[in-house]
Each structure stands twice: as structure tokens, then as C-alpha cells.
Amino acid sequence: MDFIRLDGREYLAGFTPTPPVSRADLGEVVAESRCSLSAFNERTRTDPGPSRDGDTGFLPPGTDIHAVRGWDPTCRIAAERDGRLYVYLAQEKGADHARPAACAVG
């Protein structure tokens, strides 16, 4: 799953269609990735356990995580991976399945 955990909130990319963003759409850096859980799992062959702030599904450690211009970063953020920009939508807290927060799609 392509995710970022930031400030106790889960953000997902690829589950809900979103218009693509360009570099001009990127705002300030709001965080940096800490650990790619997919790389951790491949390297150690162990379950990394629950995600913590700064953990991601695929972003290499040290990857800048940006605000998206026109969106509150508690709703949408973006990051570059393999030369492509991805938009991550905040997920509804406490939902029983992946569901974008209202502010992420409104």
C-alpha cells in the first residue's frame, strides 16, 4: 500500500482518483520520510509492526514530503518517487476501511 503516516494521520495514494500535480503545485516541505516499510520488510524479512510518524510504504528515507498548493497539509500532501509525483489523501480517522477525509476531496 502506498502510504505516508504523518502527525498520527494516514495518507494514501492511488485509492481515489486525483488530478496529477506538477512541481509548480508543490508547496513547502512539511516532513521527510523516515522509513520505507516495504524496503525494511524486503531487507529483514520481518514484519515492521505498526507504522509510526514518518513511515511510508515505498518512499526512501529522506524523501521530502510537500504540502500541495491550495490544500491544507492535514488533507493532502505530495512526494516524488522514481521521478513521478504522487498525491496522498488524508484518510478518515477511525474508519473501518480506507476512506478519504472530507477535506481531502472537497
Residues 6 or more apart whose CB falls under 8 angstroms from that of 17 comprise none
Backbone angles phi, psi at 55, to 5 degrees: -75, 150
CA–CA gap between residue 51 and residue 67 (Å, rounded)? 21
Amino acid (one-letter) located at 103: C
Of residues 14 and 95, more confidence is placed in 14
Secondary structure (3-state) at 60: coil
Q: Convert the pLDDT of each residue in 57-94 to its tens digit.
A: 899 999 999 999 999 999 999 999 999 999 999 999 87
What's the residue count for the chain? 106
Mean pLDDT across the chain: 89
pTM exceeds 0.85, yes or no: yes
Q: Please, what's the largest Cα pairwise distance for the chain?
A: 40
As a whole number of angstroms, the distance between CA 12 and CA 1 comes to 8
